[in-house]
Amino acid sequence: MIEKNNNVVFQAPPSGGEGGRVLMPAAYLPGNSTVVMKEVEIPTPGHGQVLVRTKSSTICGSDIRAIYREHLGKGPEAYQNKIAGHEPCGQIVKCGPGMRRFKEGDRVVLYHISGCGVCNDCRRGYMISCSSPLRAAYGWQRDGGMAPYILADEKDCVLLPDELTYTDGAQVACGFGTVYEGLEKIGICGNDQVLVVGLGPVGLAALMLAKAMGATKLVGVDTMKERCDIAKQLGLADEVFVSGNDTLEKVKAVSDGNKGFERTVDCSGHTLGRQLAIRATRQWGKMVMIGEGGTVEFNPSPDIIHDQISIHGSWVTNIWRMEELVERLVRWGIHPEDLVTHRFTLDHVDKAYKLMNEGKCGKVAVVFDEEIK
């Protein structure tokens, strides 16, 4: 059913009739590199909640690493057999009572962690760091975006500008928001040469945003030639290198004066990748670790202390910075959906996860309605 509300066309949830239950297909991840589809009831929003018609739900590398292949989380942070997908974007089709800002027809991105709202971290907007038992991640501890509808709290919504597509917005929900936070911590401007290690979707996002923020030279490194090729084809990097034994010498050779890079970004989450980023950082430079997992080994004195290098850790972002990011994406005229190399409908969601698991692609999206292209 198509309805109009405030000159916005949106699709209302189907009605099951008196006493009827309306079901929808939904994807679950049992942790053995497969996807299980189930029929579940379309939820009804309660106080301060909205029902969102999913338009695009992109797949994050953390879903692959910590849920799809195996369930790595422990205790309250473990995957709790919920509908998968923590990068959803869509349109509000129904509101519960007590709404304060959003309304039916609004296009929204969901901050993918729903926090308690009252702890110090939540008051800063960093629900990712909320330690309350009430904390629940979409797609992990509460139902996520791999279904036609998703139930969300109003406080987790970010308004999506009309200039951005739903697939743009889906990536802001986690990947682009995470990168933007990290780049803001180290500061990127026209004085900077930037090295990005790890060219999966997060690394590609780092190149795209660093370029928009004014970086004068962009260099990327990855273990997979396919990912390096994507970075070059999209015009995101001036130079790319498939990593090998002499990668440090090669990347420094393309920096000004063979002195290294003012800013380096590790998106690899791998010991050797982090070592490369640290050792390729120029004297007085800054490095940020964004990639999850893995370890790192380095020699503090020659690697960071003597060259006065600052190392930052960055974990996801806060909700106000997400609002800032969607505004700046419009200002810069860039579209995260350009990183999407493959789109799948929900009935082929298993193929989407399998492809993302193989890693020889850019971003992978599961799409609905007008996002099916």
pLDDT tens digits, one per residue of 91-116: 999 999 999 999 999 999 999 999 99
Output the six-digit token pair for 291: 């990639």
Distance CA 319, CA 113 (A): 10
Residues 166 and 52 in one domain: yes
Residues 26 and 169 in one domain: yes
Residues 153 and 11 in one domain: yes
Sign, CA torsion 243/246/249/253: negative
Which residues in 59-119 belong to E strands, given as ranges?
88-95, 107-110, 113-114
Sign, CA torsion 50/171/340/211: positive
Residues 193 and 262 in one domain: yes
- Residue at a domain's end among 313, 329, 361: 313
Residues 202 and 305 in one domain: yes
Residues 161 and 222 in one domain: no
Burial 33-42 (b: 16+ CB within 10 A, else e): eebeeeebeb
Q: What pLDDT sits at residue 50?
A: 98
Residues 95 and 146 in one domain: yes
Domain residue limits at 10? 2-174+317-371
Residues 196 and 98 in one domain: no
Residues 206 and 80 in one domain: no
Residues 85 and 154 in one domain: yes
Residues 115 and 249 in one domain: no
- Residue at a domain's end among 264, 284, 313: 313
Query: How many domains does the chain divide into?
Result: 2
For the chain, the helix, strand and coil percentages under 3-state DSSP, each to the nearest 5: 30, 25, 40
- Domain with residue 257: its CATH number is 3.40.50.720
| 3-state DSSP assignment of residue 2 | strand
Residues 16 and 163 in one domain: yes
Where the chain has pLDDT below 70, the residues are: 1-12, 15-20
Q: What pLDDT sits at residue 73?
A: 86
Nearest-10 crossing angle of helices 175-186, 319-332? 90
- Domain with residue 106: its CATH number is 3.90.180.10
- Residue at a domain's end among 313, 328, 356: 313
Q: What pLDDT sits at residue 316?
A: 96
